[in-house]
């Protein structure tokens, strides 16, 4: 299958972090070191959920200096398509699983003088590996981390204990919010901003920074979107001659893969651009959910990102 | 006078575009010689020139061929105006301003490639993305060239080939440019057949 090379791993540890988040540690089945990665990288976890194949991207949160294992933290999404529920309910220590090689779409720009990090909820995970990396190299950073309340602030204690003067926490339940304009206005020239969290937060941070004169090249964000659940629809694969039905809880990419057609992907979250596919005809409407195509490209309707986007109201014909 | 045209050659050869006012809390405008006209042209197009000038710090020096439009820039009434006699005298002031600058500052460079390149190098060294630095080449096309053999830099090169002012080798002036050194690269032209040097022509003025 497409995507990057696979790693055969065994689940070494499953640790509940709080009511919603569980941490998983994976080690190579043959005991070797895992491939090196850099802070901000993610891996795609393959799950065999009782016959349904699920591939979900998760940021690596462990120290990039430690190649004896990879750690991820998964937030349970009870209304999601089932990947996070599978991880929480069925993944146990000792289980054999398959991960993709790490891919970094949210790497630290090593030219920056300082890193301003803004995290919301489970969006903290890429920052954990980035901060571990910066702690080794002595890089300057400042983290602003918002969570619903202290109990759901995963790894807040650990971060505040290790970096008391660099980590600032905020709790939605207490009505606390980062004073973004103030924080943005006092960053030394050469600072790069990294934001990861819910969609609304990312849009607010990037929009405010841009209005305050931060150039786009200094702004970095990451949000993996889970493929949204939608109405079933029909797709014709022009190159391979298949006609398929895409189920309500299935992504277009998953449907293509289930039919045995090899389709490219990397992130499976609408962020990397790898799965871009030409639309040959669409009788209905394209429902774009990705971060990759520009708004103009989305409006033109000549391309689709099958990992997260769908169609509705008529047949879709794509070049695959 | 408008933007000095640059024939596209190799990818490393810098290209330029007209300056445009963008949002920011400090506008650092660095110019030499005819670059002052790029600045006044930008202000004519700017939606709020007065508001822009109230946040503007000018660093200016005469161009390599002597053009000095200091009076014109000073008369604009910007928040701060600094005139240096030469580029080497201007750069320490830029360093000083960069030490205290915050994100939200924007950079506009205009004039000779020597000034633009050296200011870009110093701004870039702070970690500020070089692609967000605006650059408009005006006036003199004299080049700042590094001898790839002795590493010495010769300013205001007019002819090609020319003799390295440090080691004396005859150098062919390439379009190959180093952002880090802020210089075009000069390569020995008679290495195989010493003394066989093509006639030098004035390529840069
Ligand atoms: S796989 Fe990355 S955008 Fe679709």
Interval B7-22: pLDDT, tens: 878 999 999 999 999 9
Test the B interface: residue of A183, A190, A206, A216 with most B CBs within 10 Å? A190
pLDDT of residue A33: 98
pLDDT of residue A315: 87
Q: State how far Cα A286 lies from the chain centre.
A: 23
Q: State how far Cα B138 lies from the chain centre.
A: 9
pLDDT of residue A50: 87
A189 touches chain B (CB under 8 A): yes
Closest residue to B103, CB basis, from A109, A187, A216: A187
Interval A262-319: pLDDT, tens: 999 999 999 899 999 999 999 999 999 998 999 999 999 999 999 999 999 888 999 9
Q: Are residues B124 and B99 in the same domain?
A: yes
At residue A58, does pLDDT exceed 80?
yes
Are the CB atoms for A308 and A290 separated by under 8 Å? yes
Q: Are residues B75 and B159 in the same domain?
A: no
Q: Are residues B41 and B75 in the same domain?
A: yes
**pLDDT band of A59, cuts 50, 70, 90:** very high
Q: What gap in Å lies between CA B19 and CA A142, rounded to an integer?
A: 33
Exposure class string for B19-39: b at 16+ Cβ within 10 A, else e? bebeebebbbbbbbbbbbbbb
Interval A225-278: pLDDT, tens: 888 888 999 999 999 999 999 998 889 999 999 999 999 999 999 989 999 999
Cβ contacts of A152 within 8 Å, gap of 6 or more:
A18, A19, A20, A21, A121
Could you tell me the distance, in angstroms and rounded to a whole number, from the CA of residue A87 to the centre of ligand 1?
Answer: 21
Sign, Cα dihedral of A114, A120, A121, A126:
negative
Q: Are residues B32 and B133 in the same domain?
A: yes
Q: What is the ipTM of this complex?
A: 0.91
> What is the value of pTM for the model shown?
0.91
Q: Are residues B108 and B125 in the same domain?
A: yes
Could you tell me the distance, in angstroms and rounded to a whole number, from the CA of residue A316 to the centre of ligand 1?
Answer: 19
pLDDT of residue A163: 97
Closest residue to A213, CB basis, from B24, B123, B127: B24
pLDDT of residue A225: 81
Query: Average pLDDT of B53-71?
Result: 97
| Residue B126 domain flag | yes
pLDDT of residue B1: 59
Could you tell me the distance, in angstroms and rounded to a whole number, from the CA of residue B139 to the centre of ligand 1?
Answer: 47
Instruction: Output the DSSP codes for B163-190.
Output: E-TTT--EEEEEEEEETTTTEEEEEESS
Q: Are residues B47 and B91 in the same domain?
A: yes
Question: For chain B, how many structural domains are there in total?
Answer: 2
| Residue B175 domain flag | yes
Exposure class string for A294-313: b at 16+ Cβ within 10 A, else e? eeeebeeeebbbbbbbbbee
pLDDT of residue A1: 52
CB contact under 8 A, A218 and B24: no
A111 touches chain B (CB under 8 A): yes
Could you tell me the distance, in angstroms and rounded to a whole number, from the CA of residue A123 to the centre of ligand 1?
Answer: 19
> Which pair of structure tokens corresponds to residue B105?
């500052």
The angle at the Cα of A267, spanning A261 to A270, to the nearest 5 degrees, equals: 90
Q: What gap in Å lies between CA B83 and CA B49, rounded to an integer?
A: 21
Q: Are residues B109 and B150 in the same domain?
A: no
Q: What is the 3-state secondary structure (H, E, C) of A27-60?
A: EECCCCCCCCCCCCEEEEEEEEECCEEEEEEEEC
Closest residue to B23, CB basis, from A211, A217, A218: A211
CB atoms near residue B131 (< 10 Å): 10
Interval A188-208: pLDDT, tens: 999 999 999 999 999 999 999
Query: Average pLDDT of B66-90?
Result: 97
Interval A147-161: pLDDT, tens: 999 999 999 999 999
Domain boundary pick from B94, B109, B137? B137
Q: What gap in Å lies between CA A109 and CA B129, rounded to an integer?
A: 10
Indicate the DSSP class of residue A291: S
Domain boundary pick from B85, B113, B137? B137
Q: Are residues B116 and B180 in the same domain?
A: no
Which of A268, A293, A320 best tests ligand 1's pocket when mutated (most atoms within 8 Å of CB)? A268
> What domains sit in chain A, N to C, each tagged with a CATH number?
6-100 (2.40.30.10), 114-222 (3.40.50.80), 233-318 (3.10.20.30)
Query: Average pLDDT of B169-177?
Result: 96
pLDDT of residue B6: 84
| Residue B10 domain flag | no
Grouping H, G, I as helix, E, B as strand and the rest as coil, residue A103 is strand
Test the A interface: residue of B20, B127, B180 with most A CBs within 10 Å? B127
Query: Average pLDDT of A76-97?
Result: 93
| Whether residue B161 has a cis bond before it, omega within 30° of 0 | yes
Query: Average pLDDT of B103-110?
Result: 98
At residue A4, does pLDDT exceed 80?
no
Q: Are residues B37 and B55 in the same domain?
A: yes
pLDDT of residue A51: 84
Q: Are residues B166 and B120 in the same domain?
A: no
Q: Which residues pair with B58 in a beta bridge?
A: B29, B81
Test the B interface: residue of A108, A114, A193, A213 with most B CBs within 10 Å? A213
Instruction: Output the DSSP codes for B53-109.
Output: HTTEEEEEE--TT----HHHHHTT--SEEEE-SSHHHHHHHHHHHHHH-BBTEEEEE
pLDDT of residue A3: 66
Domain boundary pick from B137, B164, B193? B137
| Residue B4 domain flag | no
Q: What gap in Å lies between CA A56 and CA B98, rounded to an integer?
A: 44
Interval B122-154: pLDDT, tens: 999 999 999 999 999 999 999 999 999 999 999
Could you tell me the distance, in angstroms and rounded to a whole number, from the CA of residue A275 to the centre of ligand 1?
Answer: 5
Atom of ligand 1 nearest to the CA of A292: 3
Q: What gap in Å lies between CA B113 and CA B63, rounded to an integer?
A: 10
Residues with CB under 6 A from ligand 1: A 265-268, 270-275, 290, 292, 305, 307
Q: What gap in Å lies between CA A210 and CA A218, rounded to an integer?
A: 10
Interval A163-184: pLDDT, tens: 999 999 999 999 999 999 999 9
**pLDDT band of B5, cuts 50, 70, 90:** confident
For chains A and B, count residue pairs whose Cβ atoms are closer than 8 Å: 66
pLDDT of residue A2: 66
**C-alpha dihedral (A116, A119, A123, A125), degrees to nearest 10:** 60
**Longest Cα pair distance anywhere in chain B, in angstroms?**
61
**pLDDT band of A6, cuts 50, 70, 90:** very high
Q: Are residues B191 and B93 in the same domain?
A: no
| Residue B84 domain flag | yes
pLDDT of residue A154: 97
From edge to edge, which strands make up the β-sheet containing A191-196?
A167-171, A141-147, A114-120, A191-196, A219-222
Q: Are residues B118 and B151 in the same domain?
A: no
Q: Which domain holds residue B107?
A: 26-137
């Amino acid at each position: 299958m497409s995507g990057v090379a696979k790693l055969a791993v065994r689940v070494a540890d499953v640790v509940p972090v709080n009511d919603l988040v569980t941490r998983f540690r994976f080690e190579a089945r043959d005991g070797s070191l895992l491939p090196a990665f850099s802070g901000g990288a993610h891996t795609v976890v393959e799950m065999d959920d009782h016959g349904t194949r699920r591939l979900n991207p998760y940021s690596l949160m462990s120290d990039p200096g430690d190649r004896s294992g990879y750690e991820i933290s998964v937030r349970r999404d009870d209304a999601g398509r089932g990947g996070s529920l599978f991880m929480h309910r069925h993944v146990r220590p000792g289980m054999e699983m398959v991960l993709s090689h790490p891919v970094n779409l949210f790497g630290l720009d090593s030219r920056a003088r300082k890193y301003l990090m803004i995290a919301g909820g489970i969006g903290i995970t890429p920052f954990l590996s980035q901060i571990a990396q910066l702690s080794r190299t002595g890089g300057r950073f400042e983290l602003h981390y918002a969570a619903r309340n202290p109990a759901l602030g995963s790894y807040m204690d650990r971060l505040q204990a290790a970096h008391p003067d660099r980590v600032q926490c905020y709790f939605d339940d207490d009505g606390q919010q980062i004073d973004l304009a103030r924080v943005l206005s006092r960053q030394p020239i050469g600072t790069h901003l990294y934001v990861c969290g819910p969609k609304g937060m990312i849009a607010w941070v990037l929009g405010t920074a841009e209005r305050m004169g931060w150039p786009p090249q200094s702004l970095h964000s990451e949000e993996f979107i889970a493929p949204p659940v939608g109405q079933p629809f029909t797709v014709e694969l022009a190159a391979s001659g298949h006609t398929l039905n895409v189920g309500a809880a299935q992504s277009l990419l998953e449907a293509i893969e289930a039919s045995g057609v090899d389709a490219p992907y990397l992130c499976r979250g609408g962020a990397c651009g790898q799965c871009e596919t030409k639309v040959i005809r669409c009788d209905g409407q394209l429902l774009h959910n990705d971060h990759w195509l520009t708004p103009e490209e989305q409006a033109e309707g000549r391309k689709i990102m099958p990992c997260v986007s769908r169609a509705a109201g008529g047949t879709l014909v794509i070049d695959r | 006078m408008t933007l000095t045209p640059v024939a596209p050659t190799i990818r490393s050869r810098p290209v330029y575009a007209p300056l445009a006012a963008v949002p920011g809390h400090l506008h650092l405008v660095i110019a030499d010689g005819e670059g002052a006209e790029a600045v006044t042209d930008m202000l004519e197009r700017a939606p709020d020139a007065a508001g822009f000038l109230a946040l503007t710090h000018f660093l200016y020096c005469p161009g390599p061929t002597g053009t000095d439009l200091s009076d014109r820039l000073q008369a604009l009434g910007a928040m701060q105006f600094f005139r240096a006699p030469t580029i080497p005298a201007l750069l320490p002031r830029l360093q000083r301003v960069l030490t205290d600058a915050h994100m939200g500052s924007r950079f506009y460079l205009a004039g000779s490639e020597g000034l633009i390149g050296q200011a870009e190098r110093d701004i870039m060294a702070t970690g500020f993305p070089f692609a967000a630095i605006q650059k408009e080449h005006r006036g003199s096309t004299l080049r700042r060239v590094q001898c790839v053999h002795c590493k010495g830099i010769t300013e205001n090169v007019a002819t090609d080939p020319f003799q390295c002012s440090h080691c004396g080798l005859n150098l062919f002036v390439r379009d190959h440019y180093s952002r880090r050194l802020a210089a075009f690269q000069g390569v020995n032209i008679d290495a195989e057949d010493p003394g066989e040097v093509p006639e030098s022509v004035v390529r840069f003025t």
